[in-house]
Chains A and B, each alone.
Chain A
Amino acid sequence: MNYNVNEKGYYGDFGGAYIPEMLYPNVEELRQNYIKVMQEPDFQEEFKALLKEYVGRPTPLYYAKRFSEKYGTNVYLKREDLCHTGAHKVNNTIGQILMAKRLGKNRIIAETGAGQHGVATATVCALMGLECIVYMGAIDIKRQAPNVARMKMLGATVVPAESGSKTLKDATNEAIRDWINNPTDTHYIIGSVVGPHPYPDMVARFQSVISEEVKKQLLEKEGKENPDYVVACVGGGSNAAGIYYHYLDTPEVGIIAVEAAGKGIHSGESAATSALGKEGIIHGSKTLLMQTDDGQITEPYSISAGLDYPGVGPMHAHLFRSGRGEFISITDADAMQAGLELCKLEGIIPAIESSHALAIFEERKFKKEDIVVVNLSGRGDKDLSTFIDYFKLA
């Protein structure tokens, strides 16, 4: 079976480009050019140089000794938290800003939930001297004040999304509406492997540097390229797509996707899309999404703003339906404990998103000789106030 995108923009039953005609010229321009541009030698050169000099890649593959001992297996952490701006998101924004420049666009728009992708976009716009407008749900603007301040310091305009539920899905709607209203000079930098084709594939390719590095690093450390498992949290699914990418067609490598169960899968306050979602259309893509029986998109919940999305990228919907991926959901409480545990055992403060991936070891048992690579997608600085409130640390 093919787990990557096909020539029509589908992963199995999922994907495609369900977009209003107003967006067709932009999306079509991107579709016709993205692979060609990415393969140009000078694009590759500039992309690689920026990832190295500016982002700080390759990020370490770190053997978490005390954490491994506790769980009786071998856990490596892929340290995306050490990327400039604190998460994997910047791999994609570097790639897309170079794409935008080559397509002759001088105005950049983006959506953001927690603000990580907004910060990563504002950062590359500052780097390239391009105008940057970030849409963010009015509620998220209140919840994520430090990232709003960061974006502003970096020169971006932050526009509150006041429609619908005033969170990430609505910010995405607003960004898409902006693109409809600015069809010629604007590039939309989507923050995950979501949206109409070719976005899921383009973002996955930019993030695939993660598993490209893991292969080399594991070969050095273990004498083989393949771990037994790769594990990642899934919001839209970009850090997951990055660490799965070069292992999709290697069945010996188990793929584990970790979703946010919020207060419990059946609590009514959850973001566990694979468990609760049905096939449908969100933001231009056919995928699994949380919705009412009538097809209205519902508002998810997770303590982690980065996992608080009612859909998943079409790649992940396909990994789920085909059985290639093992999907686990983790509650707020278990994620918070796992995050704190990593601080104590390894001296690393993880993002709450990434903490979901770390939490599976309490219930999912691995063999003593297994090698499990967990994508530590981001650092926890942005989450300090949530950790402080949750554990009454102050």
Chain B
Amino acid sequence: MNRINTKLEEGKKLLSIYFTAGYPKLEDTTTVIEKLVEAGVDMIEIGLPFSDPLADGPTIQESSTAALKNGMTTAKLFDQIKDIRKTVDIPLIVMGYFNPMLQYGVEKFCATCAEIGIDGLIMPDLPLAEYEEHYQATFEKYGLKMIFLITPQTSDERIRQIDAASDGFIYMVSSASTTGKTSGFSNVQTDYFERIAALNLKNPQIVGFGIKDEETFKAATQTAQGAIIGSAFIKTLTEKGIEGISGFIKSIRP
């Protein structure tokens, strides 16, 4: 069984962290992962940086630009994490945009992920229709879970299609926004979280975008099974470096 499914079956509220590989320094990737595991996070999204990250706000954009300047590439990332399963056993997901994967070769990318022990992929600009028609077979051949996003604007009908095509979790984007908007949650989000909960989907949901502290983490996991923090974590890395990691995680889930 895939580590993602196993983790979700534990039934607790999951804290998942996104970070950009090769940031703040090129060789920080595995250190960040290990510190996050030490601090007790449940799952990690390893961000493969891209020059034109359409769905991201300034914080993740800047970390991506910095990582690329540091010399991060797809091959470099795979090399850095090739032995990660010797020390880390929580679910690891690679999150990135589709073009670098396409250039690396979709099959080769999936094969390398499987070899390393990556459990799933989040590719925000690889939509459901293209995935099903061209890539699903390859992803499944290598046991990789494709994680799809839904937003407050996604219709119930489409959510059901996405649920049917998923086997892992559904990434519930908290509001109609790029990453890193930090206005906190209002009734709009609460209503949306409840609407989704009422759909009784087969896949658990994990909320992302706009989670930044204990309060937003609690609000997001009221109905959903977990939450993903990205920009707020990157900000901590920028301000405090690797040293800041354990304090940040404690502040979210004391």
Residues of B within 8 A of A279 (CB): 102
Q: How far is the CB of B105 from chain A (nearest CB, A)?
A: 10
Q: How far is the CB of A33 from chain B (nearest CB, A)?
A: 16
Residue pair A293, B99 in contact (C-beta under 8 Å): no
Interface core residue of B99, B100, B150, B151 (most chain A CB under 10 Å): B99
Check if B173 sits within 8 Å of A24, measured CB to CB. no
The answer to the question of A164 belonging to the interface, with a C-beta cut-off of 8 Å to chain B, is yes
Q: Mark A7-27, 1 if CB is under 8 A from B, else 0.
A: 000000000111111101100
Please, how many angstroms separate the alpha-carbon atoms of A123 and B130 in the complex? 37
Listed A/B pairs (28) with beta-carbon separation below 8 Å: A18-B125, A18-B127, A19-B127, A21-B127, A21-B149, A22-B149, A22-B177, A25-B153, A163-B58, A163-B65, A164-B52, A169-B52, A170-B52, A177-B54, A180-B176, A181-B176, A182-B176, A183-B151, A279-B102, A281-B98, A281-B102, A282-B99, A283-B54, A294-B100, A295-B99, A297-B51, A297-B52, A298-B51
**Which A residues contact B (CB, under 8 angstroms)?**
16-22, 24-25, 163-164, 169-170, 173, 176-177, 180-184, 278-284, 291, 293-298
Q: Looking at A19, A177, A182, A293, which has the most chain B CB atoms within 10 Å of its CB?
A: A177
B125 in contact with A19 (CB, 8 Å): yes
Contact B153 A183 (CB under 8 A): yes
Residue of A nearest to B177 (CB): A181
Q: Which partner residue on chain B sits nearest A281 by CB separation?
A: B99
Which residue from chain B places its CB closest to the CB of A22 in the assembled complex?
B151
A183 in contact with B51 (CB, 8 Å)? no
Chain B interface size, under 10 / 10 to 19 / 20 to 34 / 35 or more: 35 or more
Instruction: Please list the 5 inter-chain residue pairs (A to B) with the smallest Cβ-Cβ separation, ordered nearest first.
Output: A295-B103, A295-B100, A21-B149, A296-B51, A20-B124
Which residues of A are found within 8 Å of B58, using beta-carbon distances?
A: 163
B154 on the A face (CB < 8 A): yes
Q: A293-B103, A295-B101, A295-B103 are in contact. Are A20 and B55 (CB under 8 A)?
A: yes
Query: B99 contacts A180, CB within 8 Å?
Result: no
Known: A183-B151, A283-B52. 12 other contacts (CB 8 A): A20-B54, A21-B124, A21-B150, A21-B173, A22-B55, A24-B154, A177-B54, A180-B55, A181-B176, A182-B176, A284-B125, A296-B100
Q: Which residues of A contact B101 (CB under 8 A)?
A: 295
For A293, what are the chain B residues with a Cβ–Cβ distance below 8 Å? 103
A280 to B104, CA, bound (A): 11
In the complex, A293 Cα to B98 Cα: how many Å? 14
- Docked-complex contact A16 and B130, CB < 8 angstroms: yes
A103–B52 alpha-carbon span in the complex (Å)? 29
